[in-house]
Amino acid sequence: MWGGRFAAGPGALMQAINVSIDFDQRLATQDIAGSKAHSDMLAAQGIITTGNRDAIHKGLDEIAAEIAEGTFPWSAELEDIHLNIEARLKDKIGEAGGRLHTGRSRNDQVATDFRLWVREHVELFQTQLTALISALVDQADAHADMIMPGFTHLQSAQPVTFGHHMLAYAEMFARDRSRFADCHARLNESPLGAAALAGTPYPIDRDMTAKALGFDRPMANSLDAVSARDFALEALSAASICATHLSRLSEEIVIWTSAQFRFITLTDAFTTGSSIMPQKRNPDAAELVRAKVGRIMGALTALTIVMKGLPLAYSKDMQEDKEPVFDAFDALELGLAAMAGMVADMTPNKDRLAEAAGAAFSTATDLADWLVMHLNMPFRDAHHVTGTIVAMAEKQNVTLAALSLAEMQSVEPRISKEIFNVLTPFASASSRTSYGGTAPSEVRKQVARWKSDLG
């Protein structure tokens, strides 16, 4: 493949380190699409004949069929996906196959293929995130007024609604979807026609190939076109943030399904048993999604380090760009699918959530707020009075609502019986009617907005 420059083929070790066909054959669909767009343009510009173009397209279609059927004769000696397809094309159509590479290089070819592959997955992730958000919104809609404990430091803080909790993750994943959309806008430029690094003397039409491949425009600098991998880094960055959100929700599912919490249940579809403990129902799907963030973040770090010291333009180091991206995107695709399934599958335990929502004096802030709003007490004074009343209830091992009015008046004589209207978890949550608050009325407004946005 090196022509007349080298008298001998590569040694065994050089062959082993140089070959990429084991992993870059995943770019076959993109490589064939790029070659069709390139040959169409060459014919339109009069660089090759229409007969050559037609033969090239026929041969590429046959190659695509062989790859789909699993009969394509992959060869490690041909190093990568590009040379494997080109050699097979020459076998099929002869001399016309050798004209396909006119006006391009493997450098712009691989950059184009890789951008196409990343773009397809960025689009897939946006679709998957929409499905996950929809599942969260459905849970929020069904449980807008179901009370549960809200936590800070994993300690009971204030009562919230289950629907509100679900919508918090909908907001996170919506930002992830937006990040992928932003990434898509920046990566959607075509490197094809940049050739090795300096462009080509052939009268090519880069706008034509860009349009044919669904790019917004050709990249404006040939050096940048063949050497840039920031599109992959940006996609990995968005994937890493998204995976972090998946991991956080996975962690909560693991906690919530434990015997100590019993906040939700998952069916057999997303749990496994134990080989020796028949009582176990393990949230393995959530645990595995939680773990995949390590692979995805690791891929971002790996590619960042590969790229950090490379001068312009192309270096063989950049062959190491694909495996981490393939692995990370496979992990994210599976994680998003599994999470959407788990969210739809989960059933909240209403009684247990209500019990937990009332524990640990979770309505203490409501007591303090009542003192401020009804007695015109400075908040810091109200905080002190509330702390004293909480200590009284804690000493008796009862909830705030179980204290008598007389007991509370022994701390602050102006407290009236109306205080009991805010001391239940449901009353507490229902009072949080500020925009974005946990009140069922606010949750329903947000659900309606989400359903309108999701169509």
**Which residues are annotated as catalytic?**
153, 274
DSSP E strand stretches across 300-369: 347-348
In the DSSP assignment, the letter for residue 71 is: -
Return left, alpha or beta for 387; rule: phi > 0 is left, psi -120 to 50 is alpha, else beta. alpha
Peptide bond into 37 cis (omega under 30): no
Bridge partner residues of 150 (DSSP): 158
Beta strands in 177-225 (DSSP E): 189-190, 217-218
- In eight-state DSSP terms, residue 147 is E
**8 A C-beta contact, residue 254 and residue 314:** no
C-alpha torsion angle, residues 204, 205, 209, 214 (rounded to 10): 160
Per 3-state DSSP, what percentage of the chain is helix, strand, and coil (rounded to 5)? Answer: 65, 5, 30
Nearest to 21 by CA among 307, 303, 319, 227: 319
Which residues 6+ apart lie within 8 Å of 344 measured at CB? 135, 138, 139
The residue whose two tokens read 């070659």 is: 35
DSSP secondary-structure letter at 347?
A: E
Among 88, 3, 101, 85, which Cα is nearest to 52's? Answer: 101
Residues in contact with 134: Cβ distance below 8 Å, sequence separation at least 6, in sequence order:
454
CA 277/CA 17 separation, integer angstroms: 47
CA distance 26 to 118: 12
- Nearest CA to 368 among 378, 358, 356, 357? 378
